[in-house]
């Protein structure tokens, strides 16, 4: 754990497990919990993309049934146009909590890896992501359903004759 009166990451990467404890935490670099799937605790009010023209980037790895997570004891501010969410992995149909906060969330991620829905749940005080199927895989699934239906129909018609 690291304790600061004020913590600003102007560039570079904040990674690993444990906690950063500060009155305020400003991230204009990259935050990526764990070494693999992991949890990073940020105790204090957190701002992503603090300097207005700097990117605050959160990189989250999604596993089969768990994901990287930031646990914030304080407020979460993402109000600049320069905050990014970079996602990797996960299973279609699953929902992954990637952030929890105890205070108030303001703003959203302005740039998100394509192929994911982001759910901002202020009642539960968490941010979840859900991988969504790619259009090509949806089309392939639909073709498979049609093929099975046609096969069943022709089998039924042959028995009726």
pLDDT at residue 108, as a whole number:
94
Helix (H) or strand (E) holding 152: helix 135-160
Strand 96-101 relative to strand 69-73, pairing:
parallel
Q: Number of C-alpha atoms within 13 angstroms, CB side, residue 59?
A: 14
Query: What is d(CA 133, CA 143) in angstroms, rounded to the nearest whole number?
Result: 15
Q: What is the mean pLDDT of the chain?
A: 84
How many Å apart are CA 10 and CA 131, to the nearest integer? 30
- Regions of the chain short of the pLDDT cut 70: 1-2, 50-54, 135-161
Task: Give the pLDDT confidence score for residue 158 in this predicted structure.
Answer: 52
Beta-carbon count within 10 A of 32 CB: 20
151, burial (CB in 10 Å: exposed 0-12, middle 13-18, buried 19+): exposed
- pLDDT at position 60 is 95
């Amino acid at each position: 754990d690291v304790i600061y009166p004020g913590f600003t990451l102007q560039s570079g990467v904040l990674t690993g497990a444990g906690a950063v404890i500060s009155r305020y935490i400003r991230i204009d670099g990259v935050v990526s919990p764990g070494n693999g799937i992991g949890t990073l605790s940020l105790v204090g009010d957190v701002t992503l993309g603090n300097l207005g023209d700097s990117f605050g980037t959160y990189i989250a790895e999604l596993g089969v049934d768990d994901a990287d997570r930031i646990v914030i004891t304080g407020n979460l501010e993402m109000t600049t146009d320069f905050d990014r969410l970079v996602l990797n992995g996960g299973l279609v149909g699953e929902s992954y909590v990637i952030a929890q906060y105890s205070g108030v969330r303001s703003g959203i991620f302005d740039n998100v890896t394509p192929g994911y829905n982001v759910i901002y749940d202020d009642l539960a005080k968490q941010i979840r992501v859900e991988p969504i199927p790619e259009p090509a895989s949806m089309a392939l699934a639909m073709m498979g359903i049609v093929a099975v239906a046609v096969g069943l129909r022709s089998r039924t018609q042959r028995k009726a004759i």
